C-alpha cells in the first residue's frame, strides 16, 4: 500500500499508534518502520480498514471469531443485557447469565464435566486447572502431598502467565523466563513431520508414546497432572497429532493415577470439527480449559470445567480452609456470559458443526495443491485449524533462517491481496470463521498459494 494515498485520519492514527502503543508478539522496531493497517469495522467474514479496504479474516481475529463479525443475535443479546447490568462481582453473588451458561456448557461438554469455574482468558483458565489440580491432591480425603509436579509436552503452548508458561514447550516464547518458572516434566510431542525418532506414521505404531509412559511411570508418585492440547498443538505450529494419540495419553494418565488437563482454549467451540476436540476421541478429561471462541469473538471470557469428584475436594467446613482462593475482578462478567449464550444458540439453531463437515472435506482435498510449491514441506489440518510449514529445502527439511522472516513476508503479501492471516514462525496459519463461505474458502487458498509462491519464488 502506498502511504501517500492514505487519508489524514489513517496517517494520524498510525502516528499515534507508533508513539504510544506496544503490540503483543510484535518486534516493535519493525513495526515502527512499516506502514500499518488500521481496522475500522467488520462485516461478516471481512475486516475493513480506515481506507475502506476489505480483507477476509483468515484467522478469525486470532482464533476467536466464530460466526462472523456483527452477528445480529449476539449484538442484540449484549444490548439486552446492557439494559439490565454490565457487571456485578461474582464473589459472594451470582447472576442469571452465568448460571444459564454453566448449565449449557455442562450439556455440550464431554460427559462428567459438570462444574464450571469462570475466568477471563485462556491463560487464566489454564492457571485455574493447574492450581486446582495441585490443591486437589493436598486436601482430598486421602491426601497425596508429594504430587506437586506437572507433565507437559514439547511444542505445547498454554498461555503467557507464569504457571501456563511453566508447562509450555516453545523455547522462542518461554526460554527467557526460565528463572521465573516452576520445573515441569517435559516429554516429546508427536510432531510427525519432524519425528525425533526418525519414524513414520502409521508404521511407527506411535512408538513416541513409550517416552510419555516412561515419564508417567517414573513420576507417578509426584505428578499432579498431565496437560496437553487435544488433537492439535496450536501455537506450536498447528502440529496435528496422529489419530488416537490424545486418547492414548488420556489412557496412560488414568493408568498411572495422574489427572488429565485438556487445554481446549484454541481447539474448542468447533475449530476441529466437533464442539470440543476431546469428543472426537471419546474422552473426558479431569479438567477442560476453554476460552477464545466461547463468546463468538465478542468479549473476554474463559472457563475451567471439572468433575464433581474434584469439586468435592474443595468443599468442607469453613475452618478447614479448603476454599479455592482464586478469582478475578471480571469473573463471569454478565455481558460476556450473555454473548456466550447467544453464540451457543447460533451453533444450535444453524447446526454449525454439521454444516462445517463438507467444507472440512473440501479443504482436505484442496489443501493438497499447496504441495505443488517447492518450499511447502508439510500441510496439517484438523477441521478448520490449518498449518502450512514452509521450508528452505524439502529433501532435508531444512528450515529457513529465522532472520529471513519468510512467514512474515508471506502474510504481508497476502494482506496486499485482501487476506489477513498470521504466521507461527514459518508456519502459515489458516483458521477462518466457521461461517466462511465456499467462495471465500477458495479465495483464501488461492491468495495463500499465490503469496507463498511470490515470496519463496516457487
Q: Per-residue confidence at 292, pLDDT binned at 50, 70, 90?
A: very high
User: What pairs with residue 153 in β-bridges?
Assistant: 187
- Model pLDDT for residues 299-351, shown as the tens digit of each residue: 999 999 999 999 999 999 999 999 999 999 999 999 999 999 999 999 999 99
Does the N-terminal peptide bond of residue 318 adopt cis geometry, omega within 30 degrees of 0?
no
Q: Per-residue confidence at 391, pLDDT binned at 50, 70, 90?
A: very high
Neighbours of 383 (CB within 10 A): 25
75-350 is a CATH 3.40.640.10 domain: yes
Residue with cell 498454554: 158
- Measured CA to CA, the distance from residue 440 to residue 422 in angstroms comes to 17
Q: How distant, in Å, are the alpha carbons of 140, 148, 309, 318, 328 from that of 315?
A: 10, 21, 10, 9, 20
For residue 5, the model assigns a pLDDT of: 59
**Position 83 pLDDT exceeds 60:** yes
37-70+352-456 CATH choice from 3.90.1150.10, 1.10.357.20, 3.40.190.10, 2.60.40.10: 3.90.1150.10
Q: Are strands 149-153 and 54-57 parallel, antiparallel or unpaired?
A: unpaired
Closest by CA to 101, choosing from 399, 388, 403, 343, is 343
Average pLDDT taken over every residue of the chain: 97
Closest by CA to 163, choosing from 364, 40, 304, is 304
Give CB contacts under 8 A, 24+ apart, made by 400-408.
400/426, 406/455, 406/456
Closest by CA to 298, choosing from 109, 72, 10, is 72
For residue 144, the model assigns a pLDDT of: 97
Neighbours of 412 (CB within 10 A): 15
Give the alpha-carbon dihedral of 237, 131, 178, 217, to 10 degrees.
-80
pLDDT, average across residues 203-214: 98
Residue with cell 504466521: 423
Residue with cell 504457571: 163
For residue 2, the model assigns a pLDDT of: 46
Closest by CA to 239, choosing from 258, 214, 262, 267, is 267
Q: Residue 305 in contact with residue 103, Cβ under 8 Å?
A: no
Lowest mean pLDDT among 3-17, 157-171, 313-327: 3-17
pLDDT, average across residues 20-46: 96
pLDDT, average across residues 402-423: 97
**Position 142 pLDDT exceeds 70:** yes
Q: Residue 439 in contact with residue 74, Cβ under 8 Å?
A: no
Q: Per-residue confidence at 6, pLDDT binned at 50, 70, 90?
A: low
pLDDT, average across residues 235-260: 98
Q: Per-residue confidence at 4, pLDDT binned at 50, 70, 90?
A: very low
Cα of 341 vs its chain's centroid, Å: 20
Q: Are strands 223-228 and 259-263 parallel, antiparallel or unpaired?
A: parallel
- Measured CA to CA, the distance from residue 345 to residue 271 in angstroms comes to 17
DSSP string, 342-410: HHHHHHHHHTHHHHHHHHHHHHHHHGGGGGGSTTEEEEEEETTEEEEEE-SBTTTTBPPPGGG-HHHHH
- Of residues 4 and 397, the one with the higher pLDDT is 397
**Position 93 pLDDT exceeds 50:** yes
- Measured CA to CA, the distance from residue 160 to residue 325 in angstroms comes to 21
Say how many residues make up the chain.
Answer: 458
Which helix (H) or strand (E) segment holds residue 18: the answer is helix 8-20
Closest by CA to 109, choosing from 234, 365, 290, is 290
For residue 458, the model assigns a pLDDT of: 82
Residue with cell 526460565: 178
**Position 68 pLDDT exceeds 80:** yes
Q: Per-residue confidence at 1, pLDDT binned at 50, 70, 90?
A: very low
pLDDT, average across residues 429-446: 98
Give the domain ranges of the chain: 37-70+352-456, 75-350
Q: Is the dihedral of CA 313, 316, 318, 320 positive or negative?
A: negative
Amino acid at each position: 500500500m502506498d502511504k501517500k494515498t492514505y487519508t489524514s485520519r489513517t496517517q494520524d492514527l498510525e502516528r499515534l499508534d507508533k508513539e504510544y502503543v506496544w503490540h503483543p508478539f510484535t518486534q516493535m522496531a519493525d513495526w515502527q518502520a512499516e506502514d500499518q493497517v488500521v481496522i475500522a469495522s467488520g462485516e461478516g467474514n471481512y475486516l475493513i480498514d480506515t481506507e475502506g479496504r476489505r480483507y477476509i479474516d483468515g484467522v478469525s481475529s486470532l482464533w476467536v471469531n466464530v460466526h462472523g463479525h456483527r452477528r445480529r443475535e449476539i449484538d442484540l443479546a449484549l444490548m439486552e443485557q446492557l439494559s439490565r447490568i454490565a457487571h456485578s462481582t461474582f464473589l459472594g453473588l451470582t447472576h442469571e447469565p452465568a448460571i444459564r451458561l454453566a448449565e449449557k456448557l455442562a450439556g455440550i461438554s464431554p460427559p462428567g464435566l459438570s462444574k464450571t469455574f469462570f475466568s477471563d482468558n485462556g491463560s487464566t483458565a489454564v492457571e485455574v486447572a493447574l492450581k486446582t489440580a495441585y490443591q486437589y491432591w493436598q486436601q482430598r480425603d486421602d491426601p497425596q502431598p508429594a504430587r506437586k509436579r506437572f507433565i507437559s509436552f514439547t511444542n505445547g503452548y498454554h498461555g503467557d502467565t507464569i504457571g501456563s508458561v511453566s508447562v509450555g514447550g516453545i523455547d522462542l516464547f518461554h526460554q527467557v523466563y526460565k528463572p521465573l518458572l516452576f520445573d515441569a516434566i517435559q516429554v516429546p510431542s508427536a510432531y510427525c513431520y519432524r519425528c525425533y525418532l526418525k519414524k513414520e506414521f502409521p508404521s511407527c505404531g506411535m512408538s513416541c508414546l513409550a517416552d510419555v509412559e516412561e515419564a508417567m511411570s517414573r513420576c507417578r508418585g509426584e505428578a499432579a497432572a498431565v496437560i496437553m492440547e487435544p488433537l492439535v498443538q496450536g501455537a506450536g505450529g498447528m502440529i496435528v497429532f496422529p489419530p488416537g494419540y490424545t486418547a492414548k495419553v488420556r489412557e496412560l494418565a488414568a493408568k498411572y493415577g495422574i489427572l488429565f488437563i485438556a487445554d481446549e482454549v484454541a481447539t474448542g467451540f468447533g475449530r476441529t470439527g466437533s464442539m470440543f476436540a476431546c469428543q472426537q476421541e471419546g474422552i473426558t478429561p479431569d479438567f477442560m480449559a476453554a476460552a477464545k471462541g466461547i463468546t463468538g469473538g465478542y468479549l473476554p471470557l474463559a472457563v475451567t470445567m471439572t468433575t464433581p469428584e474434584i469439586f468435592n475436594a474443595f468443599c468442607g467446613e469453613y475452618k478447614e480452609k479448603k476454599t479455592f482462593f482464586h478469582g478475578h475482578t471480571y469473573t463471569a462478567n454478565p455481558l460476556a456470559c450473555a454473548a456466550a449464550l447467544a453464540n451457543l444458540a447460533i451453533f444450535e439453531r444453524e447446526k454449525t458443526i454439521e454444516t462445517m463437515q463438507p467444507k472440512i472435506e473440501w479443504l482436505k482435498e484442496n489443501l493438497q495443491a499447496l504441495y505443488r510449491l517447492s518450499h511447502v514441506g508439510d500441510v496439517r489440518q484438523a477441521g478448520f485449524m490449518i498449518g502450512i510449514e514452509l521450508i528452505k529445502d524439502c529433501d532435508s527439511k531444512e528450515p529457513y533462517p529465522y532472520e529471513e522472516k519468510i512467514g512474515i513476508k508471506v502474510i504481508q503479501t497476502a494482506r496486499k491481496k485482501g487476506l489477513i492471516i498470521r504466521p507461527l514462525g514459518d508456519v502459515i496459519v489458516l483458521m477462518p470463521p466457521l461461517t466462511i463461505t465456499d467462495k471465500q474458502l477458495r479465495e483464501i487458498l488461492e491468495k495463500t498459494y499465490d503469496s507463498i509462491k511470490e515470496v519463496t519464488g516457487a
